[in-house]
Structure 1
Amino acid sequence: MLRSLLFLPFLCCSLLKNIAKPPNQSHHKNTLNYYFNTPASNWNEAIPIGNGRMGSMIFGTVNQELIQTNDDTFWSGEPRNLQKPGTYQYLEEIRKQIKHGNTSEAQKLINSHMLGAWNQSYMPLADILLRMNQDETQATAYKRSLDLSTGIVTIAYKQKEVNYKREIFASFPQQAIIIRLTADKKKALNLIASLQSLVKYQTHSANQQLIINGQAPIHIEPNYQGIHPPIYQDGHGMRFEGRLFITETDGQILADSNQLKLQNASFATLVFVDATSYNGFDKDPFSAGKDEKKQCEAYSKGLLGKSYQAIRQAHIKDYQALFGRVNLHLGTSTEDNFPLDQRIKNYNKDKDPALTALYFQFGRYLLISSSRKGSQPANLQGIWSNLLQPAWSANWTINCNAQINYWPVELANLSECHLPLLNLIRETTVDGQKTAKNLYNSRGWMAHHNIDLWRTTWPVGGNGLWAIYQVGGAWLCQHIWEHYLFTQDKQFLAEYFPILYEASLFYVDNLQEDGQGYLVTNPSESFENHYFNAKKEKVWACEGAVQDMQIIRSLLKNTLQAFDILGKDQTQKQEIARVLARLAPMKISPRTGQLQEWNDDWDAAEPFNGQVPHGWGLVASDLITLHQTPDLAKAIRQTITYRKPAYAMNTGSWSGAFAANFWARLAEGDSVQMVLDRHFSKALYTNLTCQFTGFWQIDGNLGMTAAIGEMLMQSQGGEIALLPALPSKYPTGYVTGLKARGGYTVDVFWENTKLTKVVIKSRLAGKVSIRYKDKVKQLTVKPLSSFTLTDADFL
């Protein structure tokens, strides 16, 4: 049942004065908060909060507050062996059919013999319902807001001469959802609290705590398979417990079997904690699971005796240690003071520059809220889901979506938030080694296009068009390398080196000759795209899709560099180097001047569907750059100009993320702005979350966050570029705290579209190249040093 249906019964319906001064938060206060004058009428209008492990959506209704919660480990299913030993026996025939041009026959063989079961689904946990028994229509001065500088949601209104206020946030230090309720008159605060869930559950009370226990289904079908009821099985499936209790109040607390009552209060602090029986991706959550009751008890005891102010201050200190690293100011306008839903509904591309800064900071907020040390990585909806069958199971889709979530993480100075994805990679190698052996008869490890909590890597069901994606694991490895480039952490690189090496070995064994002496993937597909083959058939199976080869080339290059950085045995390096030298190169079509998407010069069957996969080398690595590979950059630009990915699917999700980042890397700021304008006008819910085919898909938010950052500073290709793609919409502004590859922190100030000052802090000694427009300045820096340049240094 849709969450909105559960909820409906309770609803009524300038310029900087001194650019050289350190940033003052008051300059950009309206880029750090948004507000509404009405409660949320459905889930897509609610405000998200999270602490990495726990997520909630806040509706803010006067009569009844609905706080819908998630736990990042609450999934359907359990560990399962999807391996089919010996399946590689079909590969020789599949490869033969592809080589001979019998593509349709090869596709039939792939779909018959190589595919497996569907992934499991991410589950909603529990709803917190707070019934206030207040008349919605009599409330005045209503305001519902999110302060990005503190991560706190505030709901305030007046009723019958009483001013009511709620503060709600997700505390990482306390691992709890905190709800503070106040009224400015004594005995004016009364409520009845209850808990409910969409999965099997029961509630009871004990020691003035309201407790909910539930169990996840053993299986949920993906939403694209149609509506299916959840399948439960005795003795199987993950358990959870949630506890709601009051830590301090001046009122009376009463608890019965399924309700928690507060009477005659003027303030109260409510706390919700939860735990699941998840005990790792390889352990049965029922028979070998953790004791969720003991975990909840420990969380509860950790809150006893702590005042609300102490909890709040600890939360803000923890949160601001991450969020406060970056400040961004792009201008102000009268729209800054409008409610967010009005700003989005009435968005004008020539106005509201502060919305772009707000959106960038909101993306950073989402990453902090859904990806913290020890948590799962941000999934297709971050950490927030309200459906038993969420869109695409709300899993980790690694043919782009999961990776796009983390495009901004290093640039936006949130390296710690990258760790959950890096840990997922480590866990995925376990099943990935089995898939490499059983499906491809190869050493090393690999993963295809979908991963769930149980870290299975076998191709999912449906169609090889998406399932046979040989480079999902290799693309994930790019994040290992990027984390190293930004942090320069050799200990981290040494820890993850075996993962890079084993991923490379898979391609050493698995690549096939293409008839021209080059090594390619076979079978392959190009990011779910069809082409017209020599027989004029609309097909997808191929050998050596260009994105495959770009990703593999980057993986092998990165691995070879890691050998040298870490001083590894050079004899092991040689077989990787030999394969790298034989990889099929990128090609420019002599017919069109575009970068070819396939090893052969085929025409895309659906060129305007928003999918330009061979742009990977431009946006996800430095294989294509404006200054080092100008011919390739020109060719991919012609491809993008022809295929217009920014106009597909209203720039929601990955389509807009790729388009905006393409133009940023091509240093065309106003083209980036065009994508942003379409995104703001067509792809957003009123709470700033990105909608794609009727669902929130968070890669749209986070991909655009990366593009906004890269408008202002880039660091691929061995140099730091200042204002490489600044749109004309933002003539004056500043950004402080961005991170650059090499371990640098960069502050950039500009006025009248021209650079005025850059401050670069270096953590390590080394040489750095700084680019501004067509001028490059090379500097030698000392460790823990800082240097300042002005526009005069680039004359």
Structure 2
Amino acid sequence: MDFIFKKYTSFFKNLAVGFLILFFWLIYSCSNTTINEPKNNQSIWFENPANNWNEAIPIGNGTLGGMVYGGIESDTIKINEETLWSGGPRDLQNLTAINYLPRIRKLLLEHKTKEAEALIDSTMLGEYNECYLPMGDLIISQISEGKATNYKRQLDLNKGIVDVTYNLDNVIYKKEVFASFPDKAIIVKMSADKSGQLNFSTSLTSLLKHSVEIKDNRIILSGNAPKHAYPHYLGKKDALYEEGYGMRFNMVLHIRNKGGNVTTEKDKLIVQNADEVELLFTATTSFNGYDKDPVKDGKDYEQIAKNTVESLSKTDYSKLKSRHLKDYKGLYDRVSIDLGKSSKDSIPTDERIKSFSPGTDPSLTALYYQFGRYLLISSSRPGEFAQPANLQGIWSRLLQPAWSANWTLNCNAQINYWPVETANLSELHLPLVELTKELSVDGAKTARNMYEANGWIAHHNADIWRTTSPVGGSGLWAIYQVGSAWLCHHLWEHYEFTQDKEYLKEVYPIMKGAAQFYLDNLQRDEDGFLVTNPSESFENYFVKPDGEKGWACVGATQDMQIIRDLFQNCKLAISELDTDKEFGVKLDAYLSQLLPMRISPSTGRLQEWKDDWKAATPFAGQVAHGWGLAVGNQISPRTTPELAEAFTKTLEYRKPWEANNSGSWTGSFSAKFWARLGNEEMLQKVLDEHFEKALFPNLTSNFGGFWEIDGNLGITASIGEMLLQSHDGEIEVLPALPSFYPNGKVEGLKARGGFTVDMEWSGGILKQVRVHSQSGEKAVLRYGEQLREINIDKDRDVNFYF
């Protein structure tokens, strides 16, 4: 009996131990579970078709963009192609401005502002940018009667696919729409739950000059862009067409049907009694590089489109879809984010936005973050002739789009890429890197011709033809001298996150060239400091103590912050590459002579200009001299507390987030300011303002009635920065987490030094951080005042518990 008792006692002990092991393993597994499958809402959806552009759903593969309306009787997908612009290569070099530059500089040093401004406007400005153009529309007109019920139009962010479903005449219809990067196409699959029910016509059209040909279940629209298109704000409506000029393009739609038949009627294809239909669409232009005439030296766009469609027509839909999913999810699934559930997860997106009130919808913040990542994936892919996201990403519906839908280099183009590295989409940064390289070519001519300087410069605007001279209108914006330096900040940031030395070797000459321009071009002010002259501060006017109002100045604070950042980053690159040390010594000498930031003795605020002048419109939302906080690292609560306090006073006075409903750069900068200052409640205030007042029904950012994508992407970056920052040589987790998100989990965020960070918190307290090292670099992990040393081998990870 003792033997039996001991035997079973041992058995139950082992069983108990086994259960304990299982129990703790389950706890560990749950704590380490990824959230690639969403625990909250990861879709944008509506109960009605779109009535206009601001209700449509954007799709894109980096090259092709579409806005899906999801109509029933008539459905539209508005099409863009990233390289379709007006104009062509042109020489806009100003060869006479250099004759007036010494006089302008002297006038500004003598404080003769009005005379200097007049001379700048009359001698230094040039032509306006060309315009990014809409390519056309894919139209589907259904042949049916009756009223649809159970309508739903949804973008599944986890798949990058739009679904449209509805019930009509007791038939359930479905459309599945996606833009495929691997197959260079927009693909629509139409089906019904009863056979023979698909009856519709389809056509292609364009606002540009075009012709249409129909052949073998295929529609081919061929067109050409104008030689020149004016910016919308000039009030000139006519685009200029001229024989032998203007980019060529075509759109090709191929129909593949199961059941029924396809016939031709004028410029339409008619589908009758089909069971399933696939619309396979692609588009190309003759663009063959920024320096090649798209007519004389254009690529064979027609043959390229034909080859693409032939390949599509021979590939099963299931394979097309699986290739899209593999490619898209390979980017999107890198980051998962859960900031808590919301009762509003279950209502349509337009209603969710309409009914938004602060403090009611935490999961909207996570949804918005992932939507921003989706927009980057859709509008910025590397590849031959790849273009970075412009003012509207890749989507534009007007022949004269807002501000030409160009790359505005005094903030908008750069804001688009604020989130890209932290959001674990590093390779999507490369189109902006390529734009910077290409601008340096014409920029070297502009530096030489306008300033008699070496190196290169880009001013306020750029278009696909990569000209760098000041544009027309007013020097208030046009003579912005640090567009090139700000772009080079992105060259360095990409290295900081990737630690790719081969890449750094490639871009260092571009950074050096930008720095060389300022070494040659900086001027002495009356106190002996090196400054930009002429200068202006983010299109802001100042008021001098004597009441004179103006914009032209010397050494605006933002200029000096950006140039300092460029010089410092060049020095870091020199150290990393162990090269060009003589140039580093020269940079050191100049760094010590740059005009420093100044705090106003009368207000305690950080000065926007060299002199203690007031802003003429302090509440317009433009707070230029916060660049060193929001973008650079020259203002920090931890390393430069006096400057941080002075700029905080500036924010408290000027309240930029209240301007323009926190749309576009006003919300983007404001949110970034408070995130960097670690003021989580003010950050949440800006997010609330943005969600409440600055969003169109389709979640895109409204600025003056137009979608400006930097509003979306700047806020995306700020959400990322409330969770993770890596600016001060440390990896700081939850540096600005509002109390609105007491429980949460995020995985896949990136930090400088090649680190990937996952974290989880509960009750507002961090529980666990997992850090993966891509490069084996050392770092410091910070949570509040707690510090942990990170010394992780390459391609290994470590868990930290708090």
Give your verdict on TM over 0.5.
yes
Q: Does the alignment pair 1:155 with 2:164?
A: yes
Q: Which residue is equivalent to 1:193?
A: 202
- In structure 1, which of residues 178, 195, 198 is the aligned counterpart of residue 187 of structure 2? 178
Which amino acid in the other structure matches residue 275 of structure 1? Answer: T
* Post-superposition offset of 1:533: 2.3
* Post-superposition offset of 1:86: 4.2
* Post-superposition offset of 1:389: 0.6
Consecutive unaligned residues in structure 2, runs of 5 or more:
1-26
Superposed, 1:578-593 pairs within 5 Å as: 578-593=589-604
- Does the aligned pair in 2 maintain the 1:64–1:133 contact within 8 Å? no
d(CA) in 1 for partners of 2:206 and 2:563? 44
d(CA) in 1 for partners of 2:351 and 2:144? 27
Give the secondary structure class of the aligned counterpart of 1:717.
coil
- In structure 1, which of residues 126, 130, 133 is the aligned counterpart of residue 136 of structure 2? 126
Q: Does the alignment pair 1:42 with 2:52?
A: yes
* Post-superposition offset of 1:576: 2.1
Q: Which residue is equivalent to 1:8?
A: none
Which amino acid in the other structure matches residue 546 of structure 1? Answer: T
d(CA) in 1 for partners of 2:562 and 2:458? 13
Q: Which residue is equivalent to 2:496?
A: 485
Measured against aligned partners, the alpha-carbon deviations of 1:450-482 in whole angstroms (never above 9, x if no partner) come to 000100100000000000100001000000010
- Does the aligned pair in 1 maintain the 2:261–2:274 contact within 8 Å? yes
- Does the aligned pair in 1 maintain the 2:40–2:340 contact within 8 Å? no
- In structure 2, which of residues 440, 444, 449 is the aligned counterpart of residue 438 of structure 1? 449
Measured against aligned partners, the alpha-carbon deviations of 1:302-361 in whole angstroms (never above 9, x if no partner) come to 213211111001000000000000000011122100000110000021211111100000
d(CA) in 2 for partners of 1:596 and 1:775? 34
- Does the aligned pair in 1 maintain the 2:331–2:377 contact within 8 Å? yes
- In structure 1, which of residues 197, 200, 221 is the aligned counterpart of residue 230 of structure 2? 221
Q: Does the alignment pair 1:251 with 2:260?
A: yes
- In structure 2, which of residues 386, 396, 403 is the aligned counterpart of residue 392 of structure 1? 403
Give the secondary structure class of the aligned counterpart of 2:164.
strand
Q: Which residue is equivalent to 2:84?
A: 74
Q: Does the alignment pair 1:720 with 2:726?
A: no
Q: Which residue is equivalent to 2:373?
A: 364
Q: Does the alignment pair 1:601 with 2:612?
A: yes
Measured against aligned partners, the alpha-carbon deviations of 1:469-502 in whole angstroms (never above 9, x if no partner) come to 0000100000001000000111100000100000
1:604–1:24 CA distance, 2 compared to 1 (3 A): closer
Superposed, 1:249-328 pairs within 5 Å as: 249-328=258-337
* Post-superposition offset of 1:19: 6.4
d(CA) in 2 for partners of 1:26 and 1:453? 39
* Post-superposition offset of 1:535: 3.7
* Post-superposition offset of 1:778: 2.1
- Does the aligned pair in 2 maintain the 1:505–1:576 contact within 8 Å? no
d(CA) in 2 for partners of 1:790 and 1:436? 53
d(CA) in 2 for partners of 1:231 and 1:126? 18
- Does the aligned pair in 1 maintain the 2:38–2:336 contact within 8 Å? no
Q: Which residue is equivalent to 1:60?
A: 70
In percent, how many aligned pairs have the same letter? Answer: 51
Q: Does the alignment pair 1:403 with 2:414?
A: yes
* Post-superposition offset of 1:130: 0.6
- Does the aligned pair in 2 maintain the 1:683–1:690 contact within 8 Å? yes
Measured against aligned partners, the alpha-carbon deviations of 1:570-591 in whole angstroms (never above 9, x if no partner) come to 2233222211121111111111
d(CA) in 2 for partners of 1:25 and 1:427? 37
- Does the aligned pair in 1 maintain the 2:257–2:275 contact within 8 Å? no
- In structure 1, which of residues 626, 636, 657 is the aligned counterpart of residue 637 of structure 2? 626
* Post-superposition offset of 1:386: 0.3
Which amino acid in the other structure matches residue 691 of structure 1? Answer: N
- Does the aligned pair in 1 maintain the 2:480–2:536 contact within 8 Å? yes
d(CA) in 1 for partners of 2:679 and 2:68? 38
Give the secondary structure class of the aligned counterpart of 1:412.
coil
Q: Which residue is equivalent to 2:12?
A: none
1:81–1:38 CA distance, 2 compared to 1 (3 A): same
- Does the aligned pair in 2 maintain the 1:19–1:750 contact within 8 Å? no
Superposed, 1:676-695 pairs within 5 Å as: 676-695=687-706
Q: Does the alignment pair 1:707 with 2:718?
A: yes
Superposed, 1:418-497 pairs within 5 Å as: 418-497=429-508
- In structure 2, which of residues 90, 95, 116 is the aligned counterpart of residue 85 of structure 1? 95
- Does the aligned pair in 2 maintain the 1:209–1:255 contact within 8 Å? no
Q: Which residue is equivalent to 2:4?
A: none
d(CA) in 1 for partners of 2:535 and 2:37? 53
Give the secondary structure class of the aligned counterpart of 1:108.
helix
- In structure 2, which of residues 522, 526, 542 is the aligned counterpart of residue 515 of structure 1? 526
- Does the aligned pair in 2 maintain the 1:412–1:738 contact within 8 Å? yes
d(CA) in 2 for partners of 1:517 and 1:751? 55
Measured against aligned partners, the alpha-carbon deviations of 1:661-709 in whole angstroms (never above 9, x if no partner) come to 0000001111111111111110000100001000000000000000001
d(CA) in 1 for partners of 2:29 and 2:668? 34
Q: Which residue is equivalent to 2:108?
A: 98
Measured against aligned partners, the alpha-carbon deviations of 1:138-190 in whole angstroms (never above 9, x if no partner) come to 10110000000010000000111111000000000000000000011111001
1:355–1:258 CA distance, 2 compared to 1 (3 A): same
Query: Which is worse superposed, 472-481 or 577-586?
Result: 577-586
* Post-superposition offset of 1:248: 4.3
- Does the aligned pair in 2 maintain the 1:95–1:523 contact within 8 Å? yes
- Does the aligned pair in 1 maintain the 2:35–2:336 contact within 8 Å? no
Measured against aligned partners, the alpha-carbon deviations of 1:182-208 in whole angstroms (never above 9, x if no partner) come to 011111001111111001111011222
Q: Does the alignment pair 1:333 with 2:365?
A: no
Query: Which is worse superposed, 79-88 or 475-484?
Result: 79-88
- Does the aligned pair in 2 maintain the 1:651–1:683 contact within 8 Å? yes
- Does the aligned pair in 1 maintain the 2:40–2:338 contact within 8 Å? no
Q: Does the alignment pair 1:169 with 2:178?
A: yes
- Does the aligned pair in 2 maintain the 1:204–1:257 contact within 8 Å? no
Q: Which residue is equivalent to 1:612?
A: 623
d(CA) in 1 for partners of 2:780 and 2:590? 31
- Does the aligned pair in 2 maintain the 1:248–1:307 contact within 8 Å? no
- In structure 1, which of residues 28, 38, 60 is the aligned counterpart of residue 39 of structure 2? 28
* Post-superposition offset of 1:249: 2.4
d(CA) in 1 for partners of 2:721 and 2:332? 18
Give the secondary structure class of the aligned counterpart of 1:361.
helix
Q: Does the alignment pair 1:674 with 2:694?
A: no
- In structure 2, which of residues 251, 254, 261 is the aligned counterpart of residue 242 of structure 1? 251
* Post-superposition offset of 1:271: 0.8
Give the secondary structure class of the aligned counterpart of 1:617.
helix
Q: Which residue is equivalent to 2:9?
A: none
d(CA) in 2 for partners of 1:649 and 1:766? 43
d(CA) in 1 for partners of 2:745 and 2:194? 45
CA-based RMSD: 1.2
1:27–1:244 CA distance, 2 compared to 1 (3 A): closer
Measured against aligned partners, the alpha-carbon deviations of 1:424-467 in whole angstroms (never above 9, x if no partner) come to 00000011001101111100001001000100100000000000
d(CA) in 1 for partners of 2:212 and 2:400? 24
Q: Whose Rg is larger? A: 2
d(CA) in 1 for partners of 2:260 and 2:81? 30
Which amino acid in the other structure matches residue 173 of structure 2? Answer: Y
Give the secondary structure class of the aligned counterpart of 2:281.
strand
When the two structures are superposed, what TM-score results if normalisation uses the length of structure 1? 0.96
- In structure 1, which of residues 116, 122, 127 is the aligned counterpart of residue 126 of structure 2? 116
d(CA) in 1 for partners of 2:614 and 2:688? 30
- Does the aligned pair in 2 maintain the 1:19–1:749 contact within 8 Å? no
d(CA) in 1 for partners of 2:28 and 2:188? 40
Which amino acid in the other structure matches residue 312 of structure 2? Answer: L
For these two proteins, the number of residue pairs brought into alignment is 774
Which amino acid in the other structure matches residue 232 of structure 1? Answer: Y
When the two structures are superposed, what TM-score results if normalisation uses the length of structure 2? 0.95
